Amino acid sequence: MKTMMFMGLVLGAFVIASCASSGNPLVQPDIEGVFAYRVGQIEVFMLVEAERDGNTGILIGADQELLSRYIPTDGFKHTANAFLVKTNGQNILIDAGTGAGGIIVDKIKRLGVEPEQVNAVLITHLHGDHFGGLQRDGAAIFPNAKIYLAASELEFFTQTNVNQGAVAALAAYENNVVTFTPDEPGTSLTEIFTGIYPIAAFGHTPGHTLYLIQNQNDRLLIIGDLLHVALVQFAHPEISATFDVDPVEAAVIRRQILEYAAQNKIPLGGMHIVYPGIGTVETEGEGLKFTPVK
């Protein structure tokens, strides 16, 4: 496994110009569960792998009175998403889904990208619904790709708290696994790929990483599992989920990131935000409000 030296320009303190992002939806492909979005000249495609009924039981300390304010009486949907980024002649996946049914692979093929044409997979963290789609029967699904993830994430799930599924997924890529140290929010950011910057958001897992996409005056922040039940956790960032390794740290970074995005008008894309999976955030009362793009 390789340790990456960050490349390219340095951006000041997660405060790239304070202009509002003007990223816009592209002409939408006729593919169910795919939403196309433009960040400057970078094309981003949100890919839905699965959608099912949501479960508020994963929220820590959310009583029924609070939930009744935000959850419709007929329930809500939970989604699992990945993102395809086309930038500077490269095809980059952010997360690979579970791999179930080959849904992510089918969708990128329909977008004109064969698995062999994927140059890199940027992993937000090593939970199965984010790395499971990397391999099948021990063989790499994206044979020409390098896999990028935070060094602390790799250490935790392959040495400290071993996840055999993660070990197997990464083993399929042998020496093409590259580790890095994501920059902390509030510090200078460095490029991992042209227009893509990894940001530490530890708490959900010890190496949970967000990816800021920046081109021209447009931005989009891919927030991974910063939250799981958007209907509640935007309004109440202090509420964590049972999936969070450190619920206290996760709550702190959740509020920090969401308030920063609201202040600087940075659109968000999430792995567990229902279609279109991308939207804007603004402060509302003691919490925040999310508005999907159209």
pTM equals 0.93
The pLDDT profile of the chain, 294 residues, written as one tens digit per residue, is 766 544 433 444 454 444 444 457 688 999 999 999 999 999 999 999 999 999 999 999 999 999 999 999 999 999 999 999 999 999 999 999 999 999 999 999 999 999 999 999 999 999 999 999 999 999 999 999 999 999 999 999 999 999 999 999 999 999 999 999 999 988 899 999 999 999 999 999 999 999 999 999 999 999 999 999 999 999 999 999 999 999 999 999 999 999 999 999 999 999 999 999 999 999 999 999 999 998
Phi, psi of 15 (to 5 degrees): -130, 55
Question: In one letter, which amino acid is 134?
Answer: L
Give the Cα separation of 45 and 268 in Å (integer): 13
CB 81 within 8 A of CB 49: yes
Place of tokens 């409000």: 289
CA separation for the pair 92, 84 (Å, rounded): 6
pLDDT tens-place string over residues 52-79 = 999 999 999 999 999 999 999 999 999 9
Domains of the chain: which residue ranges?
A: 2-292
Spatial separation of the C-alpha atoms in residues 162 and 11, rounded to whole Å: 35
Tokens read off for 49 = 């792998």
CATH code 3.60.15.10 for 2-292: yes
